[in-house]
Amino acid sequence: MPRRKTKSGIQDAFDAIAGFRDLVDETFEKLTGKPLAAWLREVGQQPRELPPGEQQTTPSELVIPLADAYAVLGLPQTATLEEVKRNYKRL
């Protein structure tokens, strides 16, 4: 049966963790200019509404028109399936 850690051993472990936390916080602040806790608060906040004039896009709105897809592949819209597959693999 493993021995229980002494109170000072447990405290040493907590001190090591706290020291690592402080090191991460200091490093993050040096790199980004703001404390990690402040950054996490900002990231965790989601806007309740979009600013006026902006619209939310849905995945279906992000689809390009079929003619543009053929143009990306360098093919006419009358291309065969084999031609589409061949040019897609070349991308």
Q: What is the DSSP string of the chain?
A: -PPPPPHHHHHHHHHHHHHHHHHHHHHHHHHHSS-HHHHHHHHHPPPSSPPTT--PPPGGGGPPPHHHHHHHHT--TT--HHHHHHHHHH-
pLDDT number for residue 86 = 92
Average pLDDT in the chain: 81
Its pTM stands at: 0.39
Residue 58 lies in a domain: no
Overall average pLDDT of the 30-43 stretch: 86
Model confidence at 5, pLDDT cuts 50, 70, 90, reads low
**Residue 78 is part of which domain span?**
8-46+64-90
What does residue 24 show for φ and ψ, rounded to 5 degrees? Answer: -65, -45
Residue 55 lies in a domain: no
Residue 51 lies in a domain: no
pLDDT number for residue 55 = 66
The answer to whether 28 and 37 have CB atoms below 8 angstroms apart is no
pLDDT number for residue 56 = 65
Number of domains in the chain: 1
Residue 81 lies in a domain: yes
Residue 31 lies in a domain: yes
- As a residue count, the chain comes to 91
Comparison of pLDDT for 56 and 40, the residue scoring more: 40
